[in-house]
Amino acid sequence: MSEIASYVIHGASLVTPATLEKVLRSLPMWKVEFAQINAPNFPHLVDQLEFLADCVEDVAEGAYKDLPYAALSAAVFALTYAHKKTDIIPDHVGPLGHADDSSVARAALILHRKAFAAYADKNDVDFEKITHQP
């Protein structure tokens, strides 16, 4: 298992219902923030973050009830990580500034591939297109 995957598993294990509530209140603003990410070296990052945000919202609102809590907490962790201003590689650091954000989002999606693919299928989202490249 990669170090990033272990990092995501550990971070997800710290997500509580209170964390989820805080993230839900912030998600509308975060979605705007994510849509403005300019990361040409990570062309799927914005789509991955939007997918994870939509999934978290749908689960929290009861519109989708089949996502395991481990996948939900990984999504919450990935969204929180991408939003943070201080992370492993600062976002303003040239072309690699979003490498860590992309790695965390991708690891969350890969770790819970089956669960997120089922959510994507139910919502007519091409999961392969979102996860094809980092």
Write the pLDDT tens digit of every residue in 18-62. Answer: 999 999 999 999 999 999 988 888 889 999 999 999 999 999 999
Specify the pLDDT at position 96: 60
Specify the pLDDT at position 134: 46
The pLDDT of residue 124 is above 80 = yes
**Those residues with Cβ within 8 angstroms of residue 40's Cβ, 6 or more apart along the chain or in another chain:** 95
Determine phi and psi for 125, rounding to 5 degrees.
-110, 135
Position 105: which residue type?
Answer: A
Express each pLDDT in 51-109 by its tens digit: 999 999 999 999 999 999 999 999 999 999 999 876 665 555 566 667 888 999 999 99
What residue spans define the domains of the chain? 3-131
**Cβ burial, residue 103 (10 Å; 0-12/13-18/19+):** buried
**Those residues with Cβ within 8 angstroms of residue 93's Cβ, 6 or more apart along the chain or in another chain:** none
